[in-house]
Copies of this chain bind each other. A is one copy, B any other.
Amino acid sequence: MNEIVNCIAYSKGQRVAEPLLEDVHKVLKDESQFVWIGLHEPSEELLAKVQSEFGLHDLAVEDAHNAHQRPKVEMYGNSLFLVMRTAQVNEEGHTSFGETHFFVGPNFIVTIRHGNSIPYNNVRTRCENTPHLLSKGQGFALYAVMDFIVDQYFPVVQVMEKKLEEIEDKIFRDKPGRATTEQIYMLKRELLEVRRAVSPLVDICNRLMRFDIKCISEETQPYFRDVYDHVVRINEVVDNTRELLNTALEANFSLLSISQNDVSKRFAGWAAIIALPTMVAGFYGMNFKYIPQYESRDGFYLVIGGTALTCCLMFYFFKRSGWL
């Protein structure tokens, strides 16, 4: 894939030009237009070019080069630097993360994708299909991409909720097992990662909604409430799942240890049942000259029958008491 995915100028929500990166500063002179550039893992040289075209701050460009930032928004003069983490469920059902950086200025927006994430072509197309909205400027483009990124967290948390349900089924329906302990732990690990990616967005959206930011027109601000809302909902799901996981861990341990205890208890019960006839047999095995029933033809059977009966009574009694 090319480093420069797109570089398009818009006026009143319509494409008006596809300038080369070097010519963007000419387009920028016309204040009724804005330029939307999409980059993918750009080289240092390309970033330097972008920086000089738009006059970006050194620190922001440095951050944009090194991925592995935490989500944040920073104002530099009248332009804005924003970092988001993107998430997708991969084929093994795990979450893989990427990163997207935004530079937004008076009449430009640059999106920079890092790591594995879906390209934003569809977002761009959808925006171009609603020119009355895109004509609100680069603020709307920013909203559209942020909304797209946040919406991709919903399948992620749904997979997690489903995993939790599977764990619950294992604990309460099937047999609680020791593998479940590991599954709970690993799900918690994933949850914490998602929370780290999502929770800073609450604050970021708040700032975009409330503060007076020049490069975002006032009429696009309500749109960020929408993103805010989604972020808060994802956060809630993550927090709930986390709390339930803690309880599930305890429940699994207690049911598992009880079910193991149970087997031990059962063995102990059987041992007690077997110990009695062994004792009786021992008595009849004693070497005395006079042993009751010694001469009797049925002595052997009588003793075995008697102890068998006693064992049955014990078994019945243990069962009734719930000990077996």
CB within 8 Å of B: which residues of A?
A: 57, 59, 63, 69-70, 72, 74, 76, 168, 172, 175, 178, 181-182, 184-185, 188-189, 192, 196, 222-223, 225-226, 229, 232-233, 236, 240, 243-244, 246-258, 260-265, 267-272, 274-279, 281-297, 299-300, 303-304, 322-323
Our pick among B254, B261, B289 for the contact of A261 (Cβ within 8 Å) is: B261
Our pick among B196, B243, B250, B289 for the contact of A236 (Cβ within 8 Å) is: B196
Residues of B contacting A271 in the complex (Cβ-Cβ under 8 angstroms)? 267-268, 271-272, 275
State how many angstroms separate the Cβ of A295 from the closest Cβ of chain B: 6
Label chain A's interface by main secondary structure.
helix
Given contacts A244-B188, A261-B264, A270-B272, contact A299 B290 (CB under 8 A): yes
Our pick among B182, B268, B281, B289 for the contact of A282 (Cβ within 8 Å) is: B281
Residues of B contacting A249 in the complex (Cβ-Cβ under 8 angstroms)? 247, 250-251, 254
Residues of B contacting A222 in the complex (Cβ-Cβ under 8 angstroms)? 57, 59, 74, 76
Contact yes or no, B178 A258, CB < 8 A: yes
- List 29 interface pairs A-B (beta carbons < 8 Å), by A numbering: A69-B229, A70-B233, A72-B229, A74-B225, A168-B185, A175-B322, A181-B254, A184-B247, A185-B244, A185-B247, A185-B251, A249-B250, A250-B250, A254-B256, A258-B260, A260-B265, A264-B268, A267-B271, A267-B272, A271-B271, A272-B274, A277-B279, A277-B283, A278-B279, A278-B282, A283-B303, A285-B285, A287-B287, A289-B295
Contact yes or no, A287 B285, CB < 8 A: yes
Residues of B contacting A261 in the complex (Cβ-Cβ under 8 angstroms)? 257, 260-261, 264
Residues of B contacting A279 in the complex (Cβ-Cβ under 8 angstroms)? 274, 277-278, 281
Residues of B contacting A184 in the complex (Cβ-Cβ under 8 angstroms)? 247, 251
